[in-house]
Amino acid sequence: MGASSDNMHQVINLETLLKFEGLKGEEDNIKKAYHQLISHTITEADQIHLKMVMETALILLEDLNLGPQSVQSVMLKNLCDQGVYTYDSIEAEYSQPVRQLIEGINKLEHLDTKKYRTNTENFIRLFLTLSPDIRIILIRLGMRIYDIRHLPEYPDEKQQQILGETKAMFIPIAHRLGLYQIKKELEDQVMRFIDQQTYDLIRNKLTDTQTDRDLYTADFIRPISKKLKENGFDCDIKSRVKSIPSIYRKMQAQKVEFEKVYDLFAIRIIINQTLESEVSDCWKIYSLVTDIYTPNPRRLRDWISFPKPTGYESLHTTVIGPDRRWVEVQIRTRRMDEIAEKGFAAHWKYKSQGKSIPPSDLFKEIRELLEKPVNSTLEKSISNEKSALYTDEIFIFTPQGDLKRLKTGYSVLDFAYEIHTDIGASCSGAIVNGKMVPLKYILQNGDTVKILTSKTQKPNPGWLEIVKSPRNLARVKHALKMELYKEADFGKEILKNKVTQNGFEFTDPIINKLVDYFDCNNILDLYQRFGSGKLDPAKIKKALTATKEETLITTPVKEESFPERLSGVMAGDKDFVIIDPKIRSLHYEFAKCCKPVIGNPIFAFVSVSQGIKIHQTNCPNARQLITRYPYRVLEARWKGRD
């Protein structure tokens, strides 16, 4: 790469940048931005910053194939930070895209990334959702390439931050975009600083074995080169040593020492042929190579028939070379090789075939590449299927720097429940970006949220209008129902005491009379109203006195038999419980007295202090529970059973 380690310390001047064809038509703005930067370069720190800006600009042009607006944004960003320019003046003097790029870069720079190791995928998605223009992410990648090339110039603490973030986020981003040379450089630098002992060990062994390796590859290539010329192929054949991090991964995966890693290098055959017959030519060369050396059929990788999402195309095979050593052979055309080296930029250069394609289409495809999750199957994927856009997601920071993913439109209360059910149930408000907000406050992407709780807080019906998540809605409903049962038990005790104090037995006829007197819907409603304080216990005496004679002479009401009560309980009322061992948000236990198993007829009993208990309908305690506490009994069904 043009600005890589061998020339990283050179001074990049304006003329160097203006040689790039991609800046044509924007030379005046580039010159103006450069001279503004120079005019504010006074101190030694300014000189260091100027060097950083110019080298980063070269990286954007040479390694990432970005254009003039990206270069201008890097040049002008620090002047905005210093107050020389405002965002409005940048837009007026340069353009709105340059302003948006600078704003986006500043947003990403100010993210709290302390927890990147445990939130890698969410941070990459947050990068996307905060970046309306995908070039913002590419510019940040370019800035990170500069940082890693100049790592020793930073303080120790900053070095550790750069290394950690690079490993967790920027290397996966480079990988997704097919920027394999950049990925290789970043990986190499990270390992060199994090595990210098292992790095130096492998590097020294590579140096010590260089002569033998050169002799071996020359012997290996010689018959291939002869065969290709005899068949009229114009090819370049070269040997490529694998990167030190790649060799180390193989040592770990294969659990072997350096000397036992069989594929330390690969042979690359690059065809200098026209585009029309490139696929068939690659397979013809494969046939010629495997005529000379026996291939391992399990090690064939056909990235020509099924290119990677990044556009990477190549035919890989592993063959048995001289001395029975395995050697990887890569076969590709000149076009394929450029895509393999330059990634998405070269891919689109060839994809356009000389046609004018809007940059927005290129950046749309880059965004889709970045949205693919980081996992071990990425290298094996042969699908061009695009991941769904994450436009309905936001990412929220906790005060500790953890990153939580929510849906757009979710409230503070939703976030509290996402942390923990108990925190949600006791949530009284929140501090968002340093400001106090109510439960109903709708969170925005990138907010930092501290949840406030109170021991006296508990869910109320108004919360049903605040929470948006279906799961959180179910949690609130469950809490409200449990509160209802607690109030009903408390109300029942109040009634029982008052009734017996007035000389009456606490029987169903008396209770039914009180239901009618207080105009309640049912017995549970009567208990709940007294338990919640909606009805005055002092009126119970009047209600009993007004109906005393009638109560004493009333013909006893025939009580339902237990089978009748059981039939009523299991009749399928509105409230029922679905029993599924996989459901963890519903707190229930199987009763020890009857130990239900899947398939048994069951019902749910809401206890006062132990939550929901699941009993068999033939449980020895069922009769007492259903007869004495019908208002605390719910129908229960096994999941998947009617």
Architecture of domain 393-468: Roll (3.10)
Architecture of domain 204-357: 2-Layer Sandwich (3.30)
Residue 221 — very low, low, confident or very high, per pLDDT cuts 50/70/90?
Answer: very high
How far is the C-alpha of 124 from the C-alpha of 160, rounded, in Å? 19
Q: What is the mean pLDDT of the chain?
A: 78
Helix extents (H) in 502-633: 508-517, 523-531, 539-546, 548-553, 562-569, 622-628
How far is the C-alpha of 468 from the C-alpha of 472, rounded, in Å? 7
What mean pLDDT do residues 461-465 have?
86
Tell me the pLDDT tens digit for each residue of 480-528.
777 777 777 777 877 787 777 777 777 778 888 888 778 887 777 787 7
Residue of 385, 609, 633 lying closest to 524 (CA atoms): 633
Tell me the pLDDT tens digit for each residue of 530-547.
777 777 777 777 777 765
Residue of 354, 367, 300, 368 lying closest to 329 (CA atoms): 300
Angle (CA) 215 216 220, round 5°: 120
Tell me the pLDDT tens digit for each residue of 60-103.
888 887 888 889 999 999 888 888 889 999 999 998 989 988 98
Tell me the pLDDT tens digit for each residue of 174-194.
887 777 888 889 999 999 999
How far is the C-alpha of 341 from the C-alpha of 64, rounded, in Å? 11
CATH superfamily of 5-194: Hypothetical protein af1432 (1.10.3210.10)
How far is the C-alpha of 246 from the C-alpha of 250, rounded, in Å? 6
Is 70 exceeded by the pLDDT of residue 442?
A: yes
User: What does pTM read for this prediction?
Assistant: 0.56
Domain limits, the chain: 5-194, 204-357, 393-468, 477-553, 562-638
